[in-house]
Amino acid sequence: MSTITTKDGVEIFYKDWGPRDGQPLVFHHGWPLSADDWDAQLLYFLGKGYRVVAHDRRGHGRSAQVSDGHDMDHYAADIASVVEHLDLRNAVHIGHSTGGGEVTRYVARHGQPSGRVAKAVLIGAVPPIMLKTAANPDGTPIEVFDGFRQQLAANRAGFYLDIASGPFYGFNRPGAHVSQAVAQNWWRQGMMGGAKAHYDGIKAFSETDFTQDLKAIEVPTLVMHGDDDQIVPIADSALLSVKLLKKGTLKVYEKLPHGMCTTHADIVNPDLLAFIKA
């Protein structure tokens, strides 16, 4: 199993597939999942000749279930360690949901100073900030995230099954094509990780303010979002983020859900390829 150990002693699992001389595409997964959530993208881009890399965030998947460091600064530093270990250059960093926040902080704080990043992609991503605050009055109230924490602590397995079977993939919408296999795979990935990491991760994805990170990003950045995203509402995320990016491009997907990379990979993947090749 491929792992690296970070400076603070955390073992991080990663996948590294494809030709060593291919352009690297680095995929950052959402909460509370793992690198496996990118299967539909990893195989697609592997077939196009790219080098594809995806890691399990600390406390998630096959990475160490440590007690501490479940915040965006550590998440970004961890992927920086993976990138340095593999010596990835001219890479495109692609993040979904919480992973989009991770990409934003990584590129702003670690990727650009080292010159390792060519482009970035934010898909259904949490920036600029999800939480309702005085500066972000249209955000989601803290009570919603407190509810997430309560449900996780009370019955994590049931909570995860409800998310996967309902709003994450839009399976709760009238006429939706429901895939129990997709929902069960989401549940499997979630239950592989540690409850402590997932509990702390709710604060990380909901309360982190990425405004200054977005403003600092110099590389071309594609912002992709479904307008029926029930997990990260588009009005509070993508529509705001693209205004803060220097070289941002927004692509909105009508009626697509938060988990569109899985349910609509046939639409998402070609658009990603076009942006990477542009």
Query: Smallest Cα–Cα separation from 74: which of 50, 51, 98?
Result: 98
| Identity of the amino acid at 200 | D
Given 81, 97, 165, 241, which residue is catalytic? 97
Please provide residue 191's backbone torsions phi and psi, each rounded to the nearest 5 degrees: -75, -15
Report which of 77, 78, 75, 106 is spatially closest to residue 92, judged by C-alpha positions: 106
229 is catalytic: yes
Q: Are 118 and 222 in contact (CB under 8 A)?
A: no
DSSP class of residue 108?
A: I
37 counts as catalytic: no
DSSP assignment of 173-228: STT----HHHHHHHHHHHHHS-HHHHHHHHHHHHH---HHHHHH--S-EEEEEETT
Determine whether 156 is exposed, middle or buried from the number of CB atoms within 10 Å of its CB (0-12, 13-18, 19+): middle
In the set 36, 37, 229, 236, the catalytic residue is 229
> Position of tokens 């239950």?
191
**For residues 31 and 190, is the Cβ–Cβ distance under 8 A?**
no
Catalytic residue among 29, 74, 225, 258: 258
Phi-psi region of 59 (alpha: psi -120 to 50; beta: other; left: phi over 0): left
Residue 56 is among the residues annotated as catalytic for this protein? no
Query: Where in the sequence numbering do the catalytic residues fall?
Result: 97, 229, 258
